[in-house]
Amino acid sequence: MSPERAPVFLARRSYRRRRLADAARLLPIAGAVLFCIPLLWRGADGAIGTNGVMFYIFGLWIALSVISGVISRHLRASESEAAPPVAEEA
């Protein structure tokens, strides 16, 4: 008989925390790619003007800020739950 093995899957909380950390690492790269999209828009007739590009850039900036804030809040909350209480020295 084979010896008992540890479970293959991680606990749900640690798995979600790792995926949030991965998302936090990927967010600047995704933001850089999304900021470069207006460079691909052509200046042909009927194309989006400077106003549209500025709305896109500032909208994207706000969206990335909100997403990073949400991810940061969830990561900070999970760290405070997982961290053992620190004993105060007298």
Amino acid letter for position 21? A
**pLDDT of the residue at 90:** 52
**pLDDT of the residue at 68:** 94
CA dist., res. 66 & res. 79, Å (int) = 20
CA dist., res. 50 & res. 36, Å (int) = 15
**pLDDT of the residue at 13:** 76
pLDDT (tens, 9 = 90+) of the chain, 90 residues, equals 567 777 676 677 788 888 889 999 999 999 999 999 988 887 666 667 888 899 999 999 999 999 999 999 988 876 666 555 556 665
**pLDDT of the residue at 85:** 56
CA dist., res. 43 & res. 58, Å (int) = 20
Other Cβ atoms less than 10 A from the Cβ of 74: the count is 15
**pLDDT of the residue at 40:** 85
